[in-house]
């Protein structure tokens, strides 16, 4: 019993650690070794991002798009409807990769990475985001585009509503990029909230400032659907239920069962069963 409790206790930090993870998804408009040669699993975002941005073919893209959203969890992408534009784009891409739970081990923002990449490739740098004025895109010129999405927080219902609206904005931006650049690569990553910003200092997210997607076709699957059983909330619940609460209940039941009632087991002093029988 003690060993079971110790084992359960060791799993609790792991379950809560997953809550600090974020997803990284990437896709391209063409068959690309940049994505196809990535490892099947990674622990840190820096390793996968370095593999993508240091590849010798990265500068051959007409456009490289870096989308960053602090507070994004794997469940936020997974809860998007399979008919959403982002889900359909990812599922139909010639090359794509999905990493649902990675940890950030770099302080560099996507905007800084995008600027460095544009300098190295000699591409035009453009910064975009909801509610901000950015540069316009120009066809025929290579671009590195940085899109910074608003911080995502709150309960599941609010997050789902916000993601629907934000996905609509992102889909519109990606459609504009697609129409201008036939050969493009997109990396969409979550990231931790900046440590120096509190929740009150985060940009306010007005979900009514965007237009919801107008999808009528329902397809099977969706973003990160294959990972839907492995969620931090589920792992935490299972660990607490079966690793902590259940052993405590069983221990209590076992202790109660071992208690013997004095009325049923104690024999009064001076009592002689044989003498009582002959009377």
pLDDT of residue 131 exceeding 90, the answer is no
Q: Which of 56-70, 207-221, 254-268 has the lowest mean pLDDT?
A: 207-221
* Interval 135-192: pLDDT, tens: 789 999 999 999 999 999 888 888 999 999 999 999 999 999 999 999 999 999 998 8
pLDDT-derived band at 110, boundaries 50, 70, 90: confident
Torsion angle of alpha carbons 85, 88, 91, 96, nearest 10°?
-20
Q: Please give the helix or strand (H or E) that residue 191 lies within, else none.
A: strand 184-191
pLDDT of residue 201 exceeding 60, the answer is no
Domain boundaries, the chain: 21-228
Q: Answer for the pair 114, 50: CB distance below 8 angstroms, yes or no.
A: no
CA 20 to chain centre: 9
Query: Rounded to whole angstroms, how far apart are CA atoms 275 and 278?
Result: 5
Q: What integer pLDDT is reported at residue 255 of this predicted model?
A: 76
Higher pLDDT, 64 or 210: 64
pLDDT of residue 19 exceeding 90, the answer is no
Burial class of residue 199, CB neighbours in 10 A (0-12, 13-18, 19+): exposed
Higher pLDDT, 196 or 210: 196
Q: What integer pLDDT is reported at residue 236 of this predicted model?
A: 64
pLDDT of residue 100 exceeding 50, the answer is yes
Q: Which of 13-17, 93-97, 100-104 has the lowest mean pLDDT?
A: 13-17
Nearest to 142 by CA among 129, 165, 125: 125
pLDDT of residue 219 exceeding 50, the answer is no
pLDDT of residue 210 exceeding 90, the answer is no
| Mean pLDDT in residue range 8-17 | 43
Q: Give exposure, 176-190, as e/b (b: 16+ Cβ within 10 Å).
A: ebeeebeebbbbbbb
pLDDT of residue 124 exceeding 80, the answer is yes
Tell me what the pLDDT averaged over the chain comes to: 77
Q: What integer pLDDT is reported at residue 20 of this predicted model?
A: 74
Q: Which span out of 23-27, 43-47, 76-80, 225-229 was modeled with the highest average pLDDT?
A: 23-27
pLDDT-derived band at 221, boundaries 50, 70, 90: low
Q: Is the dihedral of CA 98, 131, 112, 196 positive or negative?
A: negative
* Interval 226-273: pLDDT, tens: 544 555 555 666 666 666 777 788 777 777 777 755 555 555 555 555
- Residue 73 neighbours by CB distance under 10 Å: 25
pLDDT-derived band at 7, boundaries 50, 70, 90: very low
* Interval 70-91: pLDDT, tens: 999 999 999 999 999 999 999 9
pLDDT of residue 216 exceeding 90, the answer is no
pTM of the model: 0.69
């Amino acid at each position: 019993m003690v060993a079971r409790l110790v084992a359960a206790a060791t799993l609790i930090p792991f379950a809560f650690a997953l809550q600090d993870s974020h997803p990284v998804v990437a896709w391209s408009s063409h068959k690309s070794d940049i994505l196809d040669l990535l490892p099947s699993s990674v622990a840190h975002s820096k390793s996968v991002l370095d593999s993508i941005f240091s590849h010798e073919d990265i500068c051959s893209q007409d456009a490289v798009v870096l989308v960053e959203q602090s507070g994004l969890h794997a469940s936020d992408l997974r809860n998007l409807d399979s008919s959403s534009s982002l889900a359909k784009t990812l599922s139909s891409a010639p090359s794509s990769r999905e990493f649902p739970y990675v940890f950030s081990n770099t302080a560099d923002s996507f905007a800084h990475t995008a600027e460095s990449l544009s300098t190295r490739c000699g591409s035009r740098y453009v910064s975009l985001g909801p509610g901000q004025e950015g540069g316009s895109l120009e066809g025929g010129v290579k671009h590195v585009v940085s899109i910074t999405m608003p911080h995502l927080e709150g309960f599941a219902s609010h997050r789902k509503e916000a993601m629907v609206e934000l996905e609509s904005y992102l889909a519109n931006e990606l459609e504009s990029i697609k129409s201008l650049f036939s050969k493009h690569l997109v990396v969409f990553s979550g990231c931790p909230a900046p440590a120096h910003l509190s929740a009150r200092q985060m940009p306010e997210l007005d979900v009514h400032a965007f237009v919801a997607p107008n999808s009528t076709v329902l397809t099977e699957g969706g973003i990160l659907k294959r990972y839907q059983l492995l969620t931090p909330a589920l792992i935490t619940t299972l660990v607490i239920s079966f690793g902590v609460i259940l052993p405590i209940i069983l221990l209590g039941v076992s202790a109660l069962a071992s208690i013997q009632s004095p009325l049923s087991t104690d024999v009064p002093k001076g009592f002689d069963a044989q003498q009582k029988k002959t009377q």
